[in-house]
Chains A and B, each alone.
Chain A
Amino acid sequence: MKLGVLFSGGKDSVYATYVSKKYGHEIECLISIFSKNKESFMFHTPAVEKTKIQASSMNVPILIQRTDGKKEDELTDLRDAIKKAKNKFKIDGVVTGAIKSVYQASRIQRICDELGLVCFNPLWQKDEEIYLEELVKNKFKIILTGVFAFPFDEKWIGREIDKKFIDEIKTLNKKYKIHVAGEGGEYETFVVDCPLFSRPLNVVGKKILKEGENSFRLEVEVK
């Protein structure tokens, strides 16, 4: 099936792309939404502009849609982007990286239904610990580009998801109910290498922005 992937550049959308290819689907395009609203309910915002470099490394065209990020306007912008992808790339369906968010998944399901597209959520309800272990096993190199919950601090920014990280996040889950895969928006990620990339991305600049007591964002420049 010819598919378009809703793509933020974080671990979930990149892994959903990887799984789709494993199942024999053709990835015709990536669809990225640039939201001005950093608190967006629908889209992960950090590092989203770097998705163009990821797309180029995957040799897949990327369709960019900008949105002001007002709650329901975001959906209109998302619908427009998916419609454009359907017309331009003749996709039959859309893939998302949704794991637990019924809010996100049901809205995308409605848009796909309205546009006559098949909706795939290959990570839906996936066990979060197994998922992180799969990412490491499948040679995904992922860094944290944002942390937004207690007890995270600046030291977590830029860290790689590896075995040590998984052990520590499991402890935080037990102690502070932090979702292991960051599904509660506790942390956000950016994929710098994975089997889909023709070459690893090179992080050349880093700037950490403090947004609150336990809230930090990383601005990276990649080449």
Chain B
Amino acid sequence: MILIVSLCKEKMHELEFVRPIEKIVSSTGNEVVVCGYDKIKNSDLKNASGVILSGTSLDDFEYLENAKNFLWLKNFKKPVLGICAGMQAIGLVFSGRLVDDKYIGLSEINFKETFLGLNGKNKVYFLHNKSIMLPEGFAQFDNGNFPMAFKHKTKKIYGVLFHPEVYNHELLKEFVKTSQKT
């Protein structure tokens, strides 16, 4: 089972930031459970083979005011993928620093090495007002000023600032495969 953690304050934003992820993960034949970031139970984490932290809308920073809800990430042993806001939440738990950095729309990333199946130049969709500085213990997979794709050096904890549920669905499918192998 893949657990999708919603970071959305507004329920209707889940149609935009959670459902598309759910649709792609379900298409791999995996069971999906969706849960709000402030409602995660230990049993959800125990039953999940991997966890995806969703993004949220540009104006929503509620998850940042409740960073304690993500402390479970510190000791979690299974694969985790944070998307945009989800990446920022991971960064905060691992002592990264948030910076103001806005980008809305399509752009391109050049991956230095393979990242969840993506190589070289890739078109990506961004929707963010903030970025996170590279936390200690993480490696950056692109050449940006702030990481657009990072991974923990020893754990399968991944973060992307772009939205793979819009462009690059294969990244999500690759993450599901990685979760099944663990």
Instruction: Give the B-binding residues of A (Cβ under 8 A).
Output: 1, 19-20, 23, 25, 102, 106, 109-110, 112-113, 116, 118-127
Complex CA–CA separation, A112 to B16 (angstroms):
16
Instruction: Give the A-binding residues of B (Cβ under 8 A).
Output: 10-13, 15-16, 19-20, 23, 57-59, 102, 104-106, 125, 127, 129, 165-167
Q: Tell me if B12 and A102 are in contact (CB < 8 A).
A: no
Q: Tell me if A118 and B16 are in contact (CB < 8 A).
A: no
- B19, B57, B125: the one contacting A102 at CB < 8 Å is B125
- A102, A122, A125: the one contacting B106 at CB < 8 Å is A102
State the total of A-B contacts with C-beta under 8 angstroms. Answer: 58
* Given A112-B58, A113-B102, A124-B16, 19 new contacts (CB under 8 A): A102-B105, A102-B125, A102-B166, A106-B125, A106-B127, A109-B58, A109-B127, A113-B129, A118-B10, A119-B58, A119-B59, A120-B10, A120-B12, A120-B16, A121-B16, A122-B12, A125-B19, A125-B23, A126-B15
Complex CA–CA separation, A110 to B166 (angstroms):
17
- A23, A122, A125: the one contacting B166 at CB < 8 Å is A125
Task: Write the chain A residue with the least CB distance to B126.
Answer: A106
Shortest distance from the beta carbon of A102 to any chain B beta carbon, whole Å = 6
Task: Determine the main DSSP class of B at the interface with A.
Answer: mixed
Q: Tell me if B10 and A1 are in contact (CB < 8 A).
A: yes
Closest 9 CB pairs of A and B: A125-B20, A106-B105, A23-B12, A124-B16, A122-B15, A109-B104, A121-B16, A106-B104, A110-B104
Complex CA–CA separation, A110 to B57 (angstroms):
12
Task: Write the chain A residue with the least CB distance to B15.
Answer: A122
CB pairs A–B below 8 angstroms (5 shown): A102-B125, A120-B12, A123-B15, A124-B20, A125-B19
Q: Tell me if A126 and B166 are in contact (CB < 8 A).
A: no
Complex CA–CA separation, A125 to B12 (angstroms):
14
Complex CA–CA separation, A53 to B164 (angstroms):
40
Complex CA–CA separation, A42 to B150 (angstroms):
35
Q: Tell me if A113 and B104 are in contact (CB < 8 A).
A: yes
Residues on B with beta carbons closer than 8 Å to the beta carbon of A113:
58-59, 102, 104, 129
Task: Write the chain A residue with the least CB distance to B27.
Answer: A127
Task: Write the chain A residue with the least CB distance to B125.
Answer: A102
Complex CA–CA separation, A19 to B165 (angstroms):
21
Q: Tell me if B12 and A25 are in contact (CB < 8 A).
A: yes
Q: Which of B11, B12, B20 has the most CB of A within 10 A?
A: B12
Shortest distance from the beta carbon of A208 to any chain B beta carbon, whole Å = 36
Q: Which of A23, A102, A112, A126 has the most CB of B within 10 A?
A: A102
Residues on B with beta carbons closer than 8 Å to the beta carbon of A25:
12
Complex CA–CA separation, A186 to B178 (angstroms):
39
Residues on B with beta carbons closer than 8 Å to the beta carbon of A124:
15-16, 20
Complex CA–CA separation, A164 to B11 (angstroms):
34
- B57, B129, B166: the one contacting A118 at CB < 8 Å is B57
Complex CA–CA separation, A23 to B162 (angstroms):
27
Residues on A with beta carbons closer than 8 Å to the beta carbon of B16:
120-122, 124-125
Complex CA–CA separation, A122 to B20 (angstroms):
11
Complex CA–CA separation, A25 to B11 (angstroms):
11
Residues on A with beta carbons closer than 8 Å to the beta carbon of B106:
102, 106
